[in-house]
Amino acid sequence: TYKILDNYYYKTTITNIAEHNFGYSQWQKAWDQADINSCKLMSDIHWRLDQELTTFVVASEFASGDMKPEKEISSTDKKNEAVSSNIVPYHKLFSFADSTDCVLMVIGVITAIGSGIAMPLQTLIFGELIDTFGGNQDNKTIVHQVSKVSLKYVYLALGTGAAAFFHVVCWMVSGERQAARIRSLYLKTILRQEVGYFDLESKSGDVVERMSGDTVIIQDAMGEKVGKFIQLTSTFFGGFAIAFSQGWLLSLVLLSAIPPLVMSAAFMTVLMAKLMSRGQAAYSVGAAVVEQTISSIRTVASFTGEKQAIANYEKSLAKAYRAGVQEGLVSGLGAG
């Protein structure tokens, strides 16, 4: 205000001097410059008042509980966001693998196939063991035959143990290496962006939670579970091959149980993915609440907003807990 009054006095002085010493054009230029200075000062004062008012309103809303940890998204926005979001193909998860990871994954695939085929082979050896007791043989012959079959069991157990060990180790090491590389590139990409343009909605708590939570899920998707999937797939097809080679008619009868199992597994997988995503979103909201509260703890304490922050955090934890319980229920029903 003092600066505006001084500027007004400056304009009056310019008018008096211009009337006596200068022409009309020079007087008009000086007057216009004084108007520009006054407008700049008024604009600066209005901007500062708006900033102070905004800070006060945000703090008041936080204290009263009206402010949400993140903005409400309408159903239309959710639909648009769902449509605009790109689903990454599964093979794109392995884009960060180097030559060492590729070698580990190849070894993991081979050993997982061997570990999976060992399960149906066990049934053949068990059948030979039963046949040794069915013939009319003396005790020495039976002991000799049982010893031969038992050695086959030992060899199969050693091979299965080695294959299972190597396929788990290779896939876990490869998944850990790729997940660490993804975390490093994720943080590097975030720090490289223009903060004033991109950092409008996301909070630092979201970034930390994404790095620690989402990368673990990605690691599970391209780590030990891949080897487990290959192992079970080889067991499935290996069992069919051995079954049809030993008795095709009985195998056709047992095939009637396959469609219900496949349908229940597919339904369980879809529900598990939705519930896992819901729980991850709830944890992200809770992390944002904690980050906002801790970073603005003085404002929260001055407006006695601790209870409101705790209530918001408990709501997010309750949502995550319900999602976890439902996920366990679906998993149990699907396995049953």
Task: Name the percent of the chain lying above pLDDT 90.
Answer: 13
Report the pLDDT value the prediction gives residue 113, as an integer from 0 to 100: 93
172: left (phi over 0), alpha (psi -120 to 50) or beta: alpha
Average pLDDT over residues 159-168: 92
pLDDT tens profile 189-230: 877 877 666 666 555 566 666 777 777 888 888 888 888 999
Give the alpha-carbon dihedral of 222, 223, 227, 228, to 10 degrees. Answer: -100
Tell me if the pTM is above 0.75: no
The number of residues in the chain equals 336
How many other CB atoms sit within 10 Å of the CB of residue 39?
10
Task: Name the percent of the chain lying above pLDDT 70.
Answer: 68
CA–CA distances in Å: residue 305 to residues 54, 57, 129, 292, 297:
18, 14, 73, 12, 9
Report the pLDDT value the prediction gives residue 163, as an integer from 0 to 100: 93
φ/ψ (deg, to 5) at 72: -75, 135
pLDDT tens profile 245-292: 888 888 888 888 888 888 888 888 888 888 888 888 888 888 888 888
**What gap in Å lies between CA 204 and CA 193, rounded to an integer?**
14
Report the pLDDT value the prediction gives residue 196, as an integer from 0 to 100: 67
Report the pLDDT value the prediction gives residue 58, as an integer from 0 to 100: 41
- Please tell me the CATH superfamily of domain 93-246, with its number: ABC transporter type 1, transmembrane domain (1.20.1560.10)
Distance between first and last Cα of the chain: 77
Reported as a pLDDT band with limits 50, 70 and 90, residue 85 is low
Closest CA to 104 of 56, 167, 41, 195: 167
Report the pLDDT value the prediction gives residue 19, as an integer from 0 to 100: 46
Report the pLDDT value the prediction gives residue 173, as an integer from 0 to 100: 92
**What gap in Å lies between CA 163 and CA 238, rounded to an integer?**
16
pLDDT tens profile 290-314: 888 888 888 888 888 888 889 989 9
